[in-house]
Amino acid sequence: MKTIILPGYSLHNKEWAVELAESLKQKAEGEVAVHNWEHWRTDGNMPVVKEMAAIKREIGGREFNIIGKSVGSRMAIRVISEFKSQVNKVILCGIASISEGSKKAYKKALSNLSSEKIIVFQNTDDPFVPYSKVREFMKVINPHINVTEKSRSDHQYPYPNDFQIFLS
């Protein structure tokens, strides 16, 4: 089983993703891959169509787990919508936008997935969107999805053990 990690937008998220991948590789079966955003190399904007094509190549035709942080969570929703039949488990953390557009995209992507295959981690006082608002947002998407509160007041998600337990 392949696990693909979609980090946040900023380059500092690469370190988080690489550390997470190393931790998961020690305990996980199968391949763990970090998606490297093109804009990290070019200093440009995020070309969504190119990123989706690159992610499609990384996934191949296999079943996969996906971990998305911040903008990576939003991209994970796009990936899930396109490759729903290949999705095994989904971890979203640091959800950074809960707009009406996001709500529609999340509903579309997660509608036919079992809630037992999805978990959301959100810090109590994440500066983008706090846990309480993400919990309410996800209740509208699917009230059975586990939204786990983590006691932090930043946008960091250093929870490899929790992620591993869920993926096991």
81 vs 75: CA distance, rounded Å: 10
**8 Å CB contact between 121 and 162:** yes
State mean pLDDT over 109-129: 96
What amino acid is encoded at 73 in this protein? S
65 vs 67: CA distance, rounded Å: 7
pLDDT confidence of residue 12: 87
**Where does the pLDDT of residue 117 fall: very low under 50, low under 70, confident under 90, or very high at 90 and above?**
very high
Q: Using one digit for the tens of pLDDT, what is the confidence trace for 144-165? A: 999 999 999 999 999 999 999 9
pLDDT-above-90 percentage for the chain: 77
pTM: 0.94
Q: Are strands 64-69 and 118-123 parallel, antiparallel or unpaired?
A: unpaired
pLDDT: which is higher, 1 or 130: 130
State mean pLDDT over 80-85: 94
Structure tokens at 142: 């699917």
> Which class does domain 2-167 fall in?
alpha beta
Structure tokens at 48: 């969504």
What amino acid is encoded at 39 in this protein? H
Q: Which of 2, 127, 137 is nearest to 70 (CA)?
A: 127
Domain boundaries, the chain: 2-167
What amino acid is encoded at 145 in this protein? I
75 has pLDDT over 80: yes
**8 Å CB contact between 19 and 38:** no
CB-based contacts of 85, cutoff 8 Å, min separation 6 = none
**Where does the pLDDT of residue 28 fall: very low under 50, low under 70, confident under 90, or very high at 90 and above?**
low
Residue with tokens 């946040």: 8
What are residue 82's phi and psi, to 5 degrees? -80, -30
